[in-house]
Amino acid sequence: MIFSNDYADQLDLADSLASFRDRFHIPKHTNGDQIYLCGNSLGLQPKSVKSVLQQELDDWAALGVEGHFHAKHPWMPYHSELRDLLAENVGAKPVEVVAMNSLTVNLHLLMVSFYRPNAERPAIIIEQGAFPSDRYAVESQIRFHGFSPDDCLIEISADPDSGLIPTYALENCLREHGHRVALILWPGVQYRTGQAFDLKAIADLGHFYGCQVGFDLAHAAGNLPLQLHDSGADFAAWCSYKYLNSGPGAIAGAFVHERHAQAVLPRFNGWWGHRQDTRFQMGPEFKGTPGAEGWQLSNPPIFAMAPMRASLEIFHEAGMPALRRKSLALTAYLEALIRQELGDVLRSVTPDDPEQRGCQLSLQVRAGRDAGRRLFEHLMQSGVIGDWREPDVIRLSPTPLYNRFSDCLGAVRHIKQWAGSA
């Protein structure tokens, strides 16, 4: 029954968020739309992006430098227009968030403040198989402080049977090594498997052992209803070109918990982190803006921030609770179709428990890597857009703002077509 146009169409007709699809440009394939299941890698463009960018171009043309004060959205405080929307999106207080830089740059800047190793506590914990940029960043931080990653980079491996990392694995590691650990840097969602983690449980555990705790939320922001403030994490960073639909290489976000808002922490200072009320007095002494904004270095890139504002306004209108409900339903439908129609062809390495995953299903072809690569190429040629992660994973991510239940059905039909001819 579920493998039918009628069933998928009924789900789409009942979808209270269906109209949001019309807010996005859907890439084309032959005579129709692509089945775009790649929001975990690059979100689609909101149609409103063109007008918000055009507004800034028009203001620049008409006003020149006075656009800093007299543009429709004045550039001087532009980042503050994003602050409330960002805070709402990640479950933070406005003082705790800022849009700036790129993800890895933000991780480095935040580790300047929150990775303060000494001879007794030099180590960083990450997950084994972390996204390469995270591993490069923490390894280089360890070396920068004069320590060796051979001794001070602790990687927690997944369970060999499930491929997932249970919380007790981190707890076991901390029992053994906690006295040496300065920082835990953990993903909100593991990029390859799609496993989502309990941020509060991890932050509480790390703090119990005296560690600072930060999160890379690249695959969690805009995907899951985060509660960053309540998690108690010390810091977090995320990109916004995936689920947050802010464009390729878009400006990133950062979080610093409110308890650090007034703290005098080591940091790399820049003039845009200086208090706004005295910034243009051009004094030699740095006086940081309280909260996350104090980690800013330079004046904000307006043309990079405008697409983020357009997207966050859509998220605000739709609401993360409603988006999460649809996400759960979409992913469950895709999972049910795969189990019913393709159980002998594919297996999922993403948790079965909906509370331990977001939109993404990470799939392996049972026949092996070479077959998996052939399937991925077949899907791309057929207009079903997912992505491939080495060595053998196809990621499909039905995104609630613009994907339909019929997209899930269409993707499974194309896989069945390949399986029948393979």
Q: What is the mean pLDDT of residues 107-116?
A: 98
Q: What is the C-alpha separation between 191 and 100, in angstroms, rounded? A: 22
Checking if the pLDDT of 255 tops 90, the result is: yes
Model confidence band, residue 420 (pLDDT cutoffs 50, 70, 90):
confident
Q: How confident is the model at residue 1 (pLDDT cuts 50, 70, 90)?
A: confident
Does 124 share its domain with 241?
A: yes
Burial class (CB in 10 A: 0-12, 13-18, 19+), 404: buried
Phi then psi dihedrals of residue 364, to 5 deg: -115, 140
* 253 has a pLDDT exceeding 70: yes
Give domain status of residue 43, yes or no. no
Q: Distance between CA 74 and CA 356 in Å, rounded?
A: 41
Across 93-122, average pLDDT: 98
Are residue 120 and residue 259 in the same domain, yes or no? yes
List C-alpha distances in Å: 417 to 6, 335, 375. Answer: 20, 18, 10
pLDDT of residue 118: 97
Indicate whether 173 and 110 sit together in one domain: yes
Whether residue 48 is contained in a domain is answered as: no
Candidates 219, 58, 55, 191; CA nearest to 128 is 191
- Check residue 245 and give its pLDDT: 98
Could you read off the pLDDT of 46-80 as tens digits, one per residue?
999 999 999 999 999 999 999 999 999 999 999 88
* Residue 263 shares a structural domain with residue 200: yes
pLDDT tens profile 339-376: 999 999 999 999 999 999 999 999 999 999 999 999 99
CA distance 417 to 45: 30
**Do 12 and 84 lie in a common domain?**
no
Give the pLDDT of residue 422. Answer: 59
Q: How many domains does the chain have?
A: 2
How far is residue 283's CA from residue 105's CA, in Å, rounded to a whole number?
Answer: 26
Q: Are residues 156 and 256 in the same domain?
A: yes
Final residue before a domain boundary, out of 268, 302, 317:
317
Share of the chain above pLDDT 70, in %: 100
Query: Each residue of 147-180: pLDDT tens digit?
Result: 999 999 999 999 998 899 998 999 999 999 999 9
The helix-helix angle for 78-90 and 302-318 (nearest 10°) equals 40
Tens of pLDDT, residues 228-250:
999 999 999 999 999 999 999 99
265 located within any domain: yes
Please report whether residue 119 resides in a domain: yes
Q: Are residues 222 and 134 in the same domain?
A: yes
Q: Which of 276, 299, 317 is the last residue of a domain?
A: 317
- Kindly state whether residues 332 and 204 are assigned to the same domain: no
- Of 302, 317, 332, the one marking the end of a domain is 317
| Residues 357, 275 share a domain | no
Average confidence score pLDDT of the chain: 96
User: What's the rounded Cα separation, in Å, for the pair 390 and 369?
Assistant: 9
- Assess if residue 12 is contained within a domain: yes
The verdict on residue 39 lying in a domain is no
Q: Is residue 46 part of a domain?
A: no
Which domain range does residue 195 map to?
A: 53-317
Q: Is the pLDDT of residue 421 over 80?
A: no
Q: Label residue 187 by pLDDT band (50, 70, 90).
A: very high
Specify if 309 maps to a domain: yes
Are 309 and 324 in a shared domain? no
Q: Which residue has the tokens 């968020």?
A: 17
Q: Which helix (DSSP H) or strand (DSSP E) does residue 330 occupy?
A: helix 320-342
Is a pLDDT exceeding 70 seen at residue 85?
yes
Q: What is the pTM of this model?
A: 0.96
CATH code at position 356: 3.90.1150.10
The answer, yes or no, to whether residue 207 has pLDDT greater than 90, is: yes
Assign residue 164 the CATH number of its domain: 3.40.640.10
Give yes or no: residues 379 and 399 share one domain: yes
On the question of pLDDT at 104 being above 80, the answer is yes
At 3-45, the pLDDT tens digits run 999 999 999 999 999 999 999 999 999 989 999 999 999 999 9
Are 405 and 291 members of one domain? no
